[in-house]
Amino acid sequence: NNDVGILAMEIYFPPTCVQQEALEVHDGASKGKYTIGLGQDCMAFCTDVEDVISMSLTAVSSLLEKYQIDPKQIGRLEVGSETVIDKSKSIKTFLMQIFEEHGNTDIEGVDSTNACYGGTAALFNVVNWVESSSWDGRYGLVVCTDSAVYAEGPARPTGGAAAIAMLIGPNAPIAFESKFRGSHMSHAYDFYKPNLASEYPVVDGKLSQTCYLMALDSCYKRFCAKFEKFQGNPFSLSDADYVVFHSPYNKLVQKSFARLYFMDFLRNASSVDEAAKEKLAPYSSLSGDESYASRDLEKTSQQVAKQLYDAKVQPTTFVPKQVGNMYTASLYAAFASLIHNKHSELDGKRVVMFSYGSGLTSTMFSFRLRECQNPFSLSNIATVMDISGKLKSRHEVTPEKFIDNLQLMEHRYGGKDFVTSKDVSLLSPGTFYLTQVDSMYRRFYSKK
């Protein structure tokens, strides 16, 4: 099979959101802490009528409809999510409702879970299926869906919510460069969800940043080694047109790109110019641990990498800044931002992707983009996703209302025997929503 990859995408995020500027005031944080310090503009969240199941139902049914894909043409469906609604029944089985209606129950795949990495695991599974001898010629489908909510405290402004659906098959406009992959997996307690009675994670924020950057280093080294092995020449940031990062908050993305630039400097790569070399020279003898701790290095590398950041990363940051951390969907929402911003100038471009899930699991991999025929053209993907339209029709709520909503959701989490507000006034037509959880914990959804 040639050029296996992503043929089509759809993104859904809740229409309800809170401005980071307003949250700063509400939380008594210093001005600019969330907007400049974290680099975030706005944060989406689910009200009581939405959850990871309703969002994924919406994303999948909209994708099938807008690209005119017959549901019988799907042979594998995998979901990545870290939002636990049921410890046994997969989100995938809820999505089967869409396919059963059309007489298709012959669909492999279940859910993958490890923090923000589950979507990448699901994507690799489906791509591997299409490349394997058990492929039956039908499309694969991957769904990343999460609602990121945190207990009161410094992590709360790094929430968000979204679902992304991706259609997988051969001859794709977003094709995997399958040989170039570097992973780093290890045991860490940086962010985890041991309390099954709560939706909130336990998080060691500072440790999670360091774990993320160490994983990034390690993946980059392995990615570069694979590239050199199969391509015959060394890899540097000059070989990547765009770099897309898992995006819990934008500041970490800025630091991550600066870190890659510093890695290129240490490897004496061609992407680093003479002026930058001079500025980075004082840090060349730092040990690994010292280099993660050095604030001066962080600042200097961000400064010297700024121009490349603006060209190779900035176009990928739009949706994550507006919607927040979408956990499994964050990396793919960042990628969707690139399609949104640059769809007409992406033919032949290489995009390097970095996926990170706490705990921890991480992989760096790459896509080669190609102009394809409709409906699977990059410009049609941008049109279908309609990111501007979706952002424009959002409804901003006050921090007080946002907190009230979180309290209601805390109370409802793991509960049974309730009906929701069924307030769908803000949802666009075609959106699925939760109506009821009955005395047997069975969940019921309707479509607006």
Interface ranges with ligand ACO (CB under 6 A): 30-33, 36-38, 116, 154-155, 158, 191, 203, 205-206, 208-209, 212, 248-249, 251-252, 325, 358
Residue 58, H or E segment: helix 52-66
How many CA atoms, within 13 angstroms, populate the side-chain half-sphere of residue 322?
23
C-beta of 31 vs 229, nearer to ligand ACO: 31
Q: Would residue 246 show up in a list of annotated catalytic residues for this protein?
A: yes
Paired tokens of 30: 């210093």
* Beta-carbon count within 10 A of 379 CB: 14
Catalytic residue from among 17, 42, 46, 116? 116
Query: Cβ of residue 33: shortest distance to ligand ACO, in angstroms?
Result: 4
Catalytic residue from among 144, 211, 224, 246? 246
Q: In the complex, which residue's CB is closest to ligand ACO?
A: 37
Query: Cβ of residue 353: shortest distance to ligand ACO, in angstroms?
Result: 15
C-beta of 21 vs 386, nearer to ligand ACO: 21
C-beta of 97 vs 198, nearer to ligand ACO: 198
- How many residues are there in the chain? 448
Q: Would residue 116 show up in a list of annotated catalytic residues for this protein?
A: yes
Query: Cβ of residue 119: shortest distance to ligand ACO, in angstroms?
Result: 12
- Give the C-alpha separation, 18 to 323, whole Å: 9
- Give the C-alpha separation, 277 to 349, whole Å: 27
Query: Cβ of residue 330: shortest distance to ligand ACO, in angstroms?
Result: 7
Q: Would residue 17 show up in a list of annotated catalytic residues for this protein?
A: no
For 9, 219, 264, 297, 304, the CA distances from 141, given in Å and listed in that order, are 10, 26, 36, 42, 40
C-beta of 54 vs 247, nearer to ligand ACO: 247
Cβ atoms of residues 79 and 90 within 8 Å: yes
Catalytic residue from among 24, 82, 177, 199? 82
The single residue listed with the structure tokens 């962080």 is: 298
C-beta of 34 vs 235, nearer to ligand ACO: 34
- Give the C-alpha separation, 91 to 147, whole Å: 13
Cβ atoms of residues 151 and 145 within 8 Å: no
C-beta of 8 vs 326, nearer to ligand ACO: 326
Query: Cβ of residue 188: shortest distance to ligand ACO, in angstroms?
Result: 10
Query: Cβ of residue 434: shortest distance to ligand ACO, in angstroms?
Result: 25
For 60, 72, 168, 169, 394, the CA distances from 137, given in Å and listed in that order, are 20, 12, 11, 9, 39
Which active-site residues does the annotation give? Answer: 82, 116, 246
